[in-house]
Amino acid sequence: MNAALKHLNRFSTPAKALTDPAPDEAQLAEILQVAMSAPDHGRLYPYRFITIRGDARYRLSEIFVQATRQREPDVDAAYLAKQREKPLRSPLIVVVVASLVESEKIPEIEQMLSAGAAAHNVLLASNALGFGSIWLTGANAYDDYVRGELGIADNEQIIGFIYLGTPELEIPPRPLPAVESYLSDWE
pTM of the model: 0.93
* Structural contact between residues 25 and 2, judged by C-beta atoms closer than 8 angstroms: no
Q: Is residue 68 part of a domain?
A: no
pLDDT digits (tens, 9 = 90+) for 114-149: 999 999 999 999 999 999 999 999 999 999 999 999
Q: Is residue 8 part of a domain?
A: no
Q: What's the structural domain count of the chain?
A: 1
pLDDT digits (tens, 9 = 90+) for 62-104: 999 999 999 999 999 999 999 999 999 999 999 999 999 999 9
Q: Is residue 62 part of a domain?
A: no
CATH number at residue 106: 3.40.109.10
**Rounded Cα gap, residues 165 and 120, in angstroms:** 16
**Rounded Cα gap, residues 88 and 16, in angstroms:** 9
Handedness of CA 63, 45, 7, 54 (dihedral sign): negative
Q: Is residue 99 part of a domain?
A: yes
pLDDT confidence bin for 162, thresholds 50/70/90 = very high
Range of the domain at 25: 16-53+90-168
